[in-house]
């Protein structure tokens, strides 16, 4: 089966405070992302092209914590992370801690296709973007008042926070790291993830999203995975690769592997979050252990579905 799934972040989402209007906005953004990827899959494009198109829609949408609308660091700046992987070639590209690039996922692809490296960080990644002709945007492009107020709520605390789990944040506002996974008509898999990371992060902190094997992984033999949640736990548990390994080495189905990783291992270790995954046959799973995860999925010949809780 050919299909695509997207997420817009997982975390502590307060159902009682979600208005029907806000819910409709989230669902329509997720649907727009699904349809952007789906249109490419229908035209015979690759899974990589489809996941990038879907993630770009979510990066451009200020509702989500990626690209425009990303969370603020402790220094009141934006540091963006993104990665992608092709399940056919096992090639991957990633960027971490970059500023000014409106679509970090496109830069991650540039790293994959036009450098000999996998992960470029900070100023070096920005220099590479300039070298490849990328347009930069001022900080004001990424600014949203909601994210700024979220930072002010926690700026005097030590830790970094999942944007959607800042306790007093009204859930009818803007949450979520974004990602997409797809299987194309040739049977190739791909995964992509993009984020502003965690509110109030400092010291150049990077989470799981730009780390291949932790936040993103794709292998045609098993599955394509994009994660969202408390990145430190996802890095330590090598979540995306672990899911693939459970299928490859232990022969688990996608559903069994998702249950093992998200509802057992991560829960035992205290890791809040979820993931989206598609296997070599096109089966889609969207497990999470938090109260909600913005998510959507669509098979090439079906209607798009979206859900939050
Ligand atoms: N996983 C991301 C990080 O830790 C955050 C998120 O998924 O919202 O940077």
76: domain CATH number? 3.60.20.30
Each residue's pLDDT tens digit, 239-293:
999 999 999 999 999 999 999 999 999 999 999 999 999 999 999 999 999 999 9
- Indicate the SS3 state at residue 33: helix
Mutate to test the pocket of ligand 1, among 164, 174, 209, 233 (most ligand atoms within 8 A of CB): 209
- Tokens 């299928």 sit on residue: 247
Distance 138 CA to ligand 1 centre (A): 23
Q: In what order do the strands lie in the sheet with 92-98?
A: 119-121, 92-98, 80-86, 189-195, 178-183, 3-11, 292-299, 305-307
- Where is pLDDT greater, at 277 or 173? 277
What's the whole-number mean pLDDT along residues 98-113?
98
Tell me what pLDDT residue 176 has.
80
Query: Is the pLDDT assigned to residue 18 strictly greater than 90?
Result: no
- Indicate the SS3 state at residue 276: strand
**Predicted confidence band of residue 161 (pLDDT cuts 50, 70, 90):** confident
- Indicate the SS3 state at residue 291: coil
**Predicted confidence band of residue 174 (pLDDT cuts 50, 70, 90):** very low
Atom of ligand 1 nearest to the CA of 230: 4
Distance 198 CA to ligand 1 centre (A): 6
Distance 56 CA to ligand 1 centre (A): 17
Does any ligand 1 atom lie closer than 6 A to the CB of residue 231?
A: yes
Query: Is the pLDDT assigned to residue 175 strictly greater than 70?
Result: no
Distance 240 CA to ligand 1 centre (A): 13
Mean pLDDT (the chain) is 94
Cβ-in-10-Å burial (0-12, 13-18, 19+) of 158 comes to exposed
* SS3 assignment for 119-143: EEEHHHHHHHHHHCCCCCCCHHHHC
**CA-wise closest residue to 51 among 220, 224, 228:** 224
What's the whole-number mean pLDDT along residues 29-51?
98
Q: What is the domain extent for residue 35?
A: 3-307
Query: Is the pLDDT assigned to residue 10 strictly greater than 80?
Result: yes
Taking residue 102's Cβ as centre, other Cβ atoms within 10 Å add up to 18
Q: Name, in order, each residue with C-beta under 8 angstroms of 50's C-beta and a sequence gap of 6 or more.
A: 4, 37, 38, 40, 41, 180, 182, 184, 190
- Tokens 């990783």 sit on residue: 261
**CA-wise closest residue to 290 among 9, 4, 5, 7:** 9
Distance 77 CA to ligand 1 centre (A): 17
What's the whole-number mean pLDDT along residues 44-73?
97
What's the whole-number mean pLDDT along residues 86-91?
98
Does any ligand 1 atom lie closer than 6 A to the CB of residue 106?
A: no
**Predicted confidence band of residue 165 (pLDDT cuts 50, 70, 90):** low
Tell me what pLDDT residue 12 has.
78
Is residue 19 annotated as part of the catalytic site, yes or no? no
Does any ligand 1 atom lie closer than 6 A to the CB of residue 66?
A: no
| Set 2, 73, 177, 216: catalytic member | 177
Q: In what order do the strands lie in the sheet with 216-218?
A: 216-218, 223-229, 273-279, 284-285
What's the whole-number mean pLDDT along residues 101-116?
98
d(CA 224, CA 217): 6
Does any ligand 1 atom lie closer than 6 A to the CB of residue 8?
A: no
Each residue's pLDDT tens digit, 187-230:
999 999 999 999 999 999 999 999 999 999 999 999 999 999 99
Query: Is the pLDDT assigned to residue 78 strictly greater than 50?
Result: yes
d(CA 101, CA 81): 10
Tell me what pLDDT residue 172 has.
35
> What is the tally of structural domains in the chain?
1
Q: Buried b vs exposed e over 265-292: b needs ≥16 C-beta within 10 Å?
A: bbeeeebbbbbbbbbbebebbbbbbbbb
Atom of ligand 1 nearest to the CA of 232: 4
The protein residue whose alpha carbon is closest to atom 9 in ligand 1 is 197
């Amino acid at each position: 089966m050919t299909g695509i799934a997207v997420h817009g972040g997982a975390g502590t989402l307060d159902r009682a405070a979600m208005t029907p209007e806000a819910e409709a906005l989230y669902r329509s953004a997720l649907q727009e992302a699904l349809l952007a990827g789906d249109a490419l899959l229908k035209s015979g494009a690759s899974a990589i092209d489809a996941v990038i198109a879907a993630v770009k829609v979510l990066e451009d949408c200020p509702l989500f914590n990626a690209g425009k609308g990303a969370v603020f660091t402790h220094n009141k700046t934006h540091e963006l992370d993104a990665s992608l992987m092709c399940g056919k070639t096992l090639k991957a590209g990633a960027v971490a801690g970059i500023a000014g690039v409106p679509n970090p996922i496109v830069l991650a692809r540039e790293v994959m296709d036009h450098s000999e490296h996998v992960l470029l960080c900070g100023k070096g990644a920005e220099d590479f973007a300039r070298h490849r002709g990328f347009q930069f945007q001022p900080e004001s492009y990424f600014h949203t008042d909601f994210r700024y107020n979220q930072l002010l709520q926690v700026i005097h605390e030590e830790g970094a926070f999942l944007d959607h789990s800042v306790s007093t944040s009204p859930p009818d506002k803007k949450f979520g790291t974004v990602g997409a996974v797809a299987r194309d008509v040739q049977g190739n898999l791909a995964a992509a993830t993009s984020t502003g990371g965690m509110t109030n992060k400092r010291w150049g902190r990077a989470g799981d999203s730009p780390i291949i094997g932790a936040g993103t992984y794709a292998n045609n033999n098993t599955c394509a995975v994009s994660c969202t949640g408390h990145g430190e736990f996802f890095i330590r548990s090598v979540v995306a690769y672990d899911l693939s390994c459970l299928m490859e080495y232990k022969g688990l189905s996608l559903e069994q592997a998702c249950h093992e990783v998200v509802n057992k291992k991560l829960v035992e270790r205290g890791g809040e979050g979820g993931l989206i995954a598609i296997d070599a046959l096109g089966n889609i799973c969207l497990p999470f252990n938090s109260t909600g995860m913005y998510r959507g999925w669509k098979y090439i010949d079906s209607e798009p579905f979206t859900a939050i809780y």
